[in-house]
């Protein structure tokens, strides 16, 4: 039991659990038990299937956690000043635009596939930071901070993209009700309410209204996160509700919600996949968007900013570290699969998109890890300034 707790506290534990859930889903989907697996995935509980409950309800909690991370970084973290936001912000923007452009060049000319342009634009925080953490001192701390800030901004862009481009028909009555609930949440914040109960109750109501409004239900989690007070006073005691919520949700999200999402969504049936499927426009567009698009967009943006004197080179880092980190950003797993569900109806195109995500993320993870491990020895050169201003 003690060994389990030691493992759960290790930097790569969440990544390992997520990877295990993904592998298990793929095994079951391609085994003699595949029929039972897909029956469970599509089993109805109430008006929704288990898959829909996972994607609409559990992922709302995931997005609540993501929203809290974004707000924390903006309020008191690595994004709390404009100067700190410049490098990761511009890098994240080009790390979204370039994969989308590559996807469009490959699959955009097929009208039935164009809606998947946003799939390769996301970076998976858990996987990418897990890879960097596993490398330890081989990667400078400045690059870990850069990756964290970039991934947070990347998630913020993904949230905006989902809200704008992947909403279904809007039902104004429910949308109006959601606006009223948001106003009530803001009122609680401004009045200094720090106890969780009002936010929990209003959060549930907001989730239902957003679900029925035509916006994706996960948006409720982000909106709720933005209204949680960063600090306040309960009696004579100062408290930090936002920090408390984030700490409380962290393990639940890392070790339960995200693995459950992977288990129910990563089960792609590969038994009938042919070589021709590997050249399918959606597979190629998504995979190359993640593998190549992220590298070009992020590394190119940082290179241009440093060379133009807009930002300094990250401390103790060289261009190999920057490039290796850009490769790791091609791991799009959780958010990319989520966007593929929104972009395509269940069927061949969605399966191809998921296949592209798994392929692109796997190659990015392996290539990024090997590359950064090999160049880690160059850190000594950074300490004496060989690369610091290059």
> Does the residue 334 lie in any domain?
yes
Find out whether 155 and 70 touch, Cβ atoms under 8 Å: yes
Query: What confidence category does residue 190 fall into, taking pLDDT thresholds of 50, 70 and 90?
Result: very high
- The pLDDT score that the predictor gives to residue 2 is 64
In a domain, 131, yes or no: yes
Within a domain: residue 57? yes
| Residue bearing tokens 């309800």 | 57
Average pLDDT, stretch 288-317?
A: 93
Read off the DSSP letter of residue 233: E
Does 144 reside within a domain? yes
pLDDT digits (tens, 9 = 90+) for 315-357: 888 999 999 999 999 999 888 999 999 999 988 899 999 999 9
What's the confidence (pLDDT) of residue 73? 85
Give the pLDDT of residue 388.
44
The reply to whether 19 falls in a domain is: yes
pTM: 0.81
- Residue 337 is part of a domain; what is its CATH number? 1.20.1530.10
Is 207 a domain residue?
Answer: no
pLDDT score, position 207: 96
Buried b (16+ CB within 10 A) or exposed e, 182-205: bebbeebbeeebbeeebbeebbeb
pLDDT over 80 at 6, yes or no: no
Q: pLDDT higher for 159 or 228?
A: 228
31 has a pLDDT exceeding 90: yes
Q: Does the residue 106 lie in any domain?
A: yes
Q: Cα dihedral sign for 86, 90, 91, 93?
A: positive
Whether 294 maps to a domain, the answer reads yes
Range of the domain at 27: 14-167+216-374
pLDDT cut 90: percent of the chain above it: 55
Residues with Cβ within 8 Å of residue 261, at least 6 apart in sequence: 54, 55, 58, 59, 62, 334, 337, 338
Kindly report the backbone phi and psi dihedral angles of residue 317, in degrees, each rounded to the nearest multiple of 5, phi listed first. Answer: -110, 150
| Band (1; pLDDT cuts 50, 70, 90) | low
Integer Rg of the chain from CA: 21
Whether residue 203 is predicted with pLDDT greater than 80 in this model: the reply is yes
Q: Does residue 76 surpass a pLDDT of 60? A: yes
267 neighbors 40 (Cβ within 8 angstroms): no
Span 82-139, pLDDT tens digits: 878 899 999 999 999 999 999 999 998 888 999 999 999 989 887 888 888 788 888 8
CB distance 243 to 72 below 8 Å? yes
Measured distance CA(12)–CA(25) in Å, rounded = 20
Q: What is the pLDDT of residue 384?
A: 41
Count of domains in the chain? 1
Q: Quick one: pLDDT at residue 383?
A: 44
Q: List, for residues 373-386, the tens digit of each pLDDT value.
A: 888 755 444 444 44
The confidence band for 10, taking pLDDT boundaries of 50, 70 and 90, is low
Contact 372, 321 (CB under 8 A): yes
CB atoms near residue 177 (< 10 Å):
18
- What's the pLDDT band for 53 if we cut at 50, 70, 90? very high
């Amino acid at each position: 039991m003690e060994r389990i707790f030691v493992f759960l506290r290790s930097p790569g534990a969440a990544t390992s659990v997520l990877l295990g859930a993904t592998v298990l889903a793929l095994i079951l989907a391609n085994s003699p038990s595949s029929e039972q697996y897909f029956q469970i995935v599509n089993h109805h509980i109430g008006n929704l299937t288990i898959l829909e409950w996972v994607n609409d309800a559990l992922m709302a909690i995931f997005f609540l956690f993501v929203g809290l991370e974004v707000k924390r970084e903006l309020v008191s973290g690595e994004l709390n000043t404009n100067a700190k936001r410049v490098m990761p912000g511009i890098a994240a923007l080009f790390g979204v635009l370039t994969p989308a452009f590559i996807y469009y060049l490959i699959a955009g000319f097929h009208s039935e596939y164009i809606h998947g342009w946003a799939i390769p634009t996301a970076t998976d925080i858990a996987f990418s930071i897990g890879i960097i953490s596993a490398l330890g001192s081989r990667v400078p701390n400045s690059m870990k901070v850069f990756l964290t800030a970039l991934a947070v901004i990347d998630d913020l862009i993904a949230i905006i993209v989902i809200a704008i481009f992947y909403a279904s028909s809007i039902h104004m009555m429910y949308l109006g009700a959601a606006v009223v609930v948001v106003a009530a949440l803001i009122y609680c914040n401004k009045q200094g309410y720090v106890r969780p109960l009002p936010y929990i109750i209003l959060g549930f109501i907001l989730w239902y209204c957003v679900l029925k409004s035509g916006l994706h239900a996960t948006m409720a989690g982000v909106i709720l996160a933005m209204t949680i007070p960063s600090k306040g006073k309960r009696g004579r005691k100062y408290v930090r509700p936002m920090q408390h919520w984030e700490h409380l949700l962290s393990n639940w999200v890392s070790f339960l919600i995200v693995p459950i999402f992977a288990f129910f969504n990563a089960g792609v049936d590969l038994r009938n996949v042919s070589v021709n499927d590997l050249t399918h426009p959606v597979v190629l567009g998504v995979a190359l968007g993640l593998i190549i698009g992220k590298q070009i967009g992020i590394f190119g943006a940082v290179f241009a900013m440093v060379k133009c004197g807009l930002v300094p080179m990250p401390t103790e880092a060289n261009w190999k570290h920057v490039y290796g980190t850009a490769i790791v950003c091609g791991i799009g797993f959780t958010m990319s699969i989520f966007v593929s569900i929104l972009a395509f109806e269940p069927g061949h195109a969605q399966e191809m998109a998921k296949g592209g995500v798994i392929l692109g993320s796997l190659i990015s993870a392996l290539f990024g890890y090997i590359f950064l491990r090999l160049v880690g020895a160059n850190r000594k050169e950074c300490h004496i300034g060989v690369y610091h201003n290059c």
